[in-house]
Amino acid sequence: MHLTVLESVLPMPKVPDKGSVTRRGFAVLRVAVWEEPWVFALSVLASMVYGAMTVADGWALGWATDHVIRPALERGDTTFGAVASLISLFLGIAVLRAIGVVGRRIGAGIMQFRLQATYRRRVTRQYLKLPLEWHHQHPTGMLLSNANADVESIWFVIAPLPMAIGVIAMLGFATAAMFAADVWLAVVGCLVFPLVFVANVIFQRYLQPLATRAQQLRADVSEVAHESFDGALVVKTLGREAAETERFRTPTYALRDANIAVNKARGMFDPVIDGLPRLGVLAVLLVGVGRVRSGAADAGDVVQVAFLFTLIGFPIRALGWVLGELPRSVVGWDRVQRVLTAEGGMEYGDQRLTSTEAARLEVSGVRFGYLPNRDVLTGVDFTVEPGRTVAMVGPTGAGKSTMTTLLTRLVDPEEGAVKVDGVDLRSLARDELAGSVALVAQTAFLFDDTIRGNITLGGDYGDEDVWDALRIAQGDGFVKSLPDGLDTKVGERGTTLSGGQRQRIALARALVRRPRLLILDDATSAVDPQVEARILAGLRSAVRDSQAATTVLVIAYRKATISLADEVLFLDEGRITAQGTHLELQQKSAAYRDLVDAYEKDAARRQEEAELAAEIDDLDAEGASA
C-alpha cells in the first residue's frame, strides 16, 4: 500500500459508531478522501472545470445574443471577427467541458476501483491472518460477501461524488452569473434550484426503504431457488415440482410488487424533478419580459438564465445520487469493519525442525473446546513413536477431527501441549510445521487450478514426484485418462471430479511432500472400498519399506484401515480411554468392541434372525408331520 504525504501527517478519519446515517456516511466519504487524496483532488478539479464551463455555456449564449446575434440581425450585417469569436467561444467551452467530464469520470473510476481493491486486499489479508476458530464462527456466505458485495457497496457512492461536488460549484457559479445578469431573475433561480434539490432529497429518502426491500426480496427469491435446486432429487422423487413452484411463486410475486412500487415512486418524482426547471424557465421568461420592458435587463440576460436552467436541471441530480447511496455505503462499511477490526492471530516462535527422520509426536494434557465451558477434549495424553502407524478410533463427536486440527496447529490447546520431536508447536517458527506435517482432511478442498497445481501448491516438485504420489493415492489412472493430464483444470470451468477422485488428489498433495508425520482424517471415505484397500496397501508398503520415513496417524472406522496400524488409540468423550493393538483393545474395551464390530454385529443379527426363522419353519414342519 502506498503511503501518501497526507497519510503521514493526518490520522485516518474516524467513522462514529452511532449517529445519523447521513453523518456517518459523510465520515465514510472523509475516509475515502483520506485514502485517495490526489485522485480525489484531481477529479474534483476536473468536475469544477465541468461545472464552470456549464455555466459559461449559458453566459456565452447571453453574451452572444446581446453582442453578436441581435446587432447582426438588427443591422442586417455581421463581421468575420464577430462570427469567428462566436465559433471559438462555443467550441472552446465545449472542449474544456469535455475535458472536465472525462477527467471527472476517469478520476471517479480510478478512485472507486482503487478503494475497492484496497479494501478487498485488507479483508482477504484478515481472512488469512485470523485463526481458524474465527472462520468457524462465521458463515462462508457472509465472509464471501464481505470481501465482494459489501466492499463494493461502500464505494458505489464514489462514482457520483466528484460530479456532486462539481455541481455544488456549478450552483455557486450559476448564482453569481444570475445575480450579475439580473437580481429578479436570480431570485427565481434561488427559488427553483433549492426546490429541485429538496425534491431530490425527499425522493431518495422515500426510495431508499423501497429499494432495500426489493434487494431483500431478490435475496429471498435466490434462496428458494438455491434450496429447491439443491434438493432437486428429493423434489423429483416425491413428485413435488408443482408444490415447489408454488413456494417459489410467493417471493417472486412479492419481488414483482416491490419492483413496481419502486417504479411508482420513480414515476412520481421523476416528472417533478424534470418539470421544476421547465416551469422555472417559463417563470424566467415571464419575469424577464417584465424586466426587459422596464429596461432593467437585456434579452441576453433572459436567454442566459433560461438556458442555465436547462443545463443545470440534470446534473443537479448527482447530489441526490450521493445522498441516496450513503445508507448503502454505511451498511457496507459496518459489515467490512467487523472483519477488519477482528482481533486474533497466532504467535510464532523461532524454533526449527531439523530432523529428516520420521517424527515423534507427543500430546500431553491437552484440553480444548470451541465454546466456553464445553470441552471437546479433556486431558488427552499419548505419544506416537517415530515410524509407527497409529489409528485413532472413536464414535462420532468424540473429538477426533478436533484432535487433527490441534496436531497441525490450526488451533492451540487451552491447556497442555502438542510436541513434534520434543518441540512445542507454539515455539516453532511460522510455516515450519508444514514442512514436516501433512494433514488430509475429511472433505477434500481443491483450488481453482490445475491438478498439478493442486498437488504441488506452488512447491518445487517434479512431475515424477507428482506421479509417484498419485500412484500411491490410486489417482494416476484417472488423471492419465483426462484430456490434459496433470494440466487439467479442476473446478467450475474445468473438469468436474467425483468425491473419491478429489480425495485422492488431496491425498497425493500430502504424499508428494514426503511428510515426516502424515495425518489422515477419514481421508478415503468417498472412494470405493476396493480402491480404498489398494490405497491402504500402497500406503503401507510406502511407509514400511520407505526411503522417506514417515509416522502416520490415521482416523478410521473401517477395520481394514485400522488393521494397517501398529497401535490403536481409542478416543471416547474427549479422552483416550484405551490404547494398544487392535487385538488387545478388542479384549480390553467393551466400547471399542461395540464400535468396531458394529458392522459385524449387524450382519450377525440378520444371521440369527434367519436361523431363528429356519428353526420355526422346521418346528412348523415337524408339527405338521406329527
Partner 1 sequence: MSAAEATRLDHGDDAGGLATLRQGLRVSPELAQGWWITALLALTMTAGRIVVPIAVQQTIDKGLTGAGGPDMSYVAWMCVVCAAGVLVTAGASYLTTVRLAINSERGLATMRIKAFRHVHDLPVLTQSTERRGALVSRVTSDVDTVSQFLQFGGFIFLVSIGQMLLATVVMFFYSWQLALVVLICFVPLFASLKYLQRLMSAAYGVVRAKVGEMLSAIAEPVVGAQVVRAYAIEQRTQQRIDGSIEDYRRTATRAQAITGITFSIGGLAAGLANAGVLTAGVLLGVDKQATLGEILAFMFLVALFSDPVQIATQVLTDAQSAFAGWRRVLGVIATPADVVDPGESGVVQARGPISVEFSDVDFAYPEGDLVLRDVDVRLEPHRRVAVVGETGSGKTTFAKLLTRLMDPTSGAVLLDGVDAREISFVSLRERVVMVPQDGYLFDASLAENVRFGRPEVTDAQLLEAFESLGLTDWLESLPDGLDSPVGQRGESLSAGERQLVALVRANIADPDLLVLDEATSAVDPGTEVRVNAALERLMAGRTSVTIAHRLSTAEAADEVLVFDNGEIVERGPHDELVGAGGVYTRLHDSWIAQRSEL
Window 458-477: residues binding partner 1 (CB under 8 A): 458
DSSP assignment letter at 484: T
Q: How far is the CB of 555 from partner 1 (least distance, A)?
A: 10
Among 391, 582, 585, 589, binds partner 1 (CB under 8 A): 582
Q: Are strands 551-555 and 517-521 parallel, antiparallel or unpaired?
A: parallel
Q: How far is the CB of 24 from partner 1 (least distance, A)?
A: 26
Cα separation, 381 vs 384, in Å, equals 10
Contacts (CB under 8 A) with partner 1, residues 537-576: 537, 540, 557-560, 563-564
Q: Cβ of 285: how many Cβ atoms within 10 Å?
A: 14
Contacts (CB under 8 A) with partner 1, residues 38-57: 57
As a whole number of angstroms, the longest Cα–Cα distance in the chain is 142
Q: Is 278 in the site for partner 1 (CB under 8 A)?
A: yes
Q: How far is the CB of 315 from partner 1 (least distance, A)?
A: 11
Q: How far is the CB of 153 from partner 1 (least distance, A)?
A: 15
Q: Is 608 in the site for partner 1 (CB under 8 A)?
A: no
Q: Is 396 in the site for partner 1 (CB under 8 A)?
A: yes
- SS3 for 119? helix
Residue 112 or 200 having the CB closest to partner 1: 112
Q: Which helix (H) or strand (E) holds 205?
A: helix 183-230
Q: Is 260 in the site for partner 1 (CB under 8 A)?
A: yes
Task: Scan for cell 427469491, then name that residue.
Answer: 221
Among 31, 202, 262, 417, binds partner 1 (CB under 8 A): 262
Nearest to 204 by CA among 330, 29, 331, 321: 321
- SS3 for 391? strand
Contacts (CB under 8 A) with partner 1, residues 397-416: 397, 405, 408, 410
Task: Scan for cell 436547462, then name that residue.
Answer: 310
Q: Tell me which stretch binds partner 1 (CB under 8 A): 162-170, 175-183, 281-289, 326-334.
A: 281-289
Q: Is 306 in the site for partner 1 (CB under 8 A)?
A: yes
Q: Is 132 in the site for partner 1 (CB under 8 A)?
A: yes
Q: Tell me which stretch binds partner 1 (CB under 8 A): 161-169, 171-179, 413-421, 531-539.
A: 531-539
Among 44, 49, 52, 143, binds partner 1 (CB under 8 A): 143
Residue 78 or 488 having the CB closest to partner 1: 78
- SS3 for 438? strand
Using CB atoms within 10 A of its CB, is residue 105 exposed (0-12), middle (13-18) or buried (19+)? middle
DSSP assignment letter at 13: P
Which residue type is seen at 476?
D
Cα separation, 462 vs 482, in Å, equals 19
Among 448, 611, 615, 617, binds partner 1 (CB under 8 A): 448
User: What radius of gyration do the chain's Cα atoms show?
Assistant: 37
> Is there a contact between 207 and 324 (Cβ–Cβ < 8 Å)?
yes
Q: Tell me which stretch binds partner 1 (CB under 8 A): 371-379, 390-398, 481-489, 614-622.
A: 390-398
Q: Is 61 in the site for partner 1 (CB under 8 A)?
A: yes
Q: How far is the CB of 507 from partner 1 (least distance, A)?
A: 13
Q: Tell me which stretch binds partner 1 (CB under 8 A): 27-35, 96-104, 362-370, 570-578.
A: 96-104
Residues in contact with partner 1, shown as a per-residue x/- string from 420 to 439 under the rule CB under 8 A: ----------xx-xxx--xx
Q: How far is the CB of 17 from partner 1 (least distance, A)?
A: 26
Q: Is 600 in the site for partner 1 (CB under 8 A)?
A: yes
Contacts (CB under 8 A) with partner 1, residues 184-243: 218, 221-222, 225-243
Half-sphere exposure for 208 (CA within 13 Å, toward CB)? 19
> Is there a contact between 86 and 63 (Cβ–Cβ < 8 Å)?
no
- Buried (b) or exposed (e) across 391-424, using 16+ Cβ within 10 A? bbbbeeebbbebbbbbbbbbbbbeebbbbbbebe
Q: Is 83 in the site for partner 1 (CB under 8 A)?
A: yes
Instruction: Give Cα separations from 232 to 117, 241, 324 (angstroms).
Output: 38, 9, 40
Instruction: Give Cα separations from 555 to 49, 329, 504 (angstroms).
Output: 70, 48, 16
Q: Is 279 in the site for partner 1 (CB under 8 A)?
A: yes
Q: Is 587 in the site for partner 1 (CB under 8 A)?
A: no
Residues in contact with partner 1, shown as a per-residue x/- string from 108 to 127 under the rule CB under 8 A: xxx-xxx-xx--xx--xx-x
Cell output for 505: 488428489
